């Protein structure tokens, strides 16, 4: 099965209302990939995610590097797919493992682990120095366009306009 990657998004909440009610219909996704090592290793959490998604949308739960190496993808061919990462570092890890994407959407990046010194870049995006360094590498070395955008109805904001990249 080939995946047509319609959106690559970082959202620490993974599957939630904005994804199911706004993004899935907007991109006409037939598949959602949750690429997260902790979720992939937790049968219960993976099952809860699958239950939350309507039956007509396929759900793939995979470890980050496993997803990057195992799943073939092509633009414009295959199932329209939304790929979700819970952190910027996971998106970078997948990119380095071979999952090359041209655009990254930052939807929700919060201070979930009590890390001090996060910089607020939008109402829902708080970046650490490590996050900024990772984004800088994706943009400058990988040629990735990074946008901040919660829902499709919002105008995307180029990360370079709000972050010292």
- Can you list the domains of the chain with their CATH numbers? 3-161 (3.40.35.10)
Please tell me the predicted confidence (pLDDT) of residue 119: 79
What is the Cα–Cα distance from 102 to 90, expressed in whole angstroms?
A: 16
In b/e form, how buried is each residue of 116-132, taking b as 16+ CB within 10 angstroms? eebeebbebbbbbeebb
Contact 144, 95 (CB under 8 A): yes
Burial (Cβ within 10 Å: 0-12, 13-18, ≥19) of residue 47: exposed
Instruction: Give the pLDDT means over successive 10-residue stretches in the chain (165 positions).
Output: 91 94 97 97 95 96 96 84 97 96 94 68 88 94 94 94 81
Q: Say whether 96 sits in a helix, a strand or coil.
A: helix
Question: Other CB atoms closer than 10 Å to residue 28's CB: what's the count?
Answer: 8
Q: Which residues pair with 35 in a beta bridge?
A: 62
Q: Which helix (H) or strand (E) holds 120?
A: strand 119-120
Burial (Cβ within 10 Å: 0-12, 13-18, ≥19) of residue 26: middle
């Amino acid at each position: 099965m080939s995946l047509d990657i319609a959106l690559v998004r970082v959202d620490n909440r993974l599957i939630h209302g904005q994804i199911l009610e706004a993004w899935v219909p907007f991109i006409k996704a037939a598949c959602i990939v949750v690429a997260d090592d902790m979720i992939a290793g937790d049968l219960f959490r993976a099952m809860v995610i699958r239950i939350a998604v309507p039956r007509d949308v396929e759900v793939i739960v995979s470890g980050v590097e496993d997803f990057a190496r195992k799943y073939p993808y092509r633009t414009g061919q295959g199932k329209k797919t939304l790929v979700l990462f819970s952190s910027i570092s996971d998106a970078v890890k997948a990119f380095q493992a071979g999952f090359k994407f041209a655009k990254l959407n930052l939807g929700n990046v919060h201070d979930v682990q009590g890390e001090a010194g996060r910089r607020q870049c939008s109402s829902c995006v708080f970046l650490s120095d490590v996050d900024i360094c990772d984004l800088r590498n994706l943009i400058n070395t990988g040629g990735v366009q990074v946008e901040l955008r919660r829902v499709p109805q919002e105008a995307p904001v180029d990360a370079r306009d709000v972050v010292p990249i």
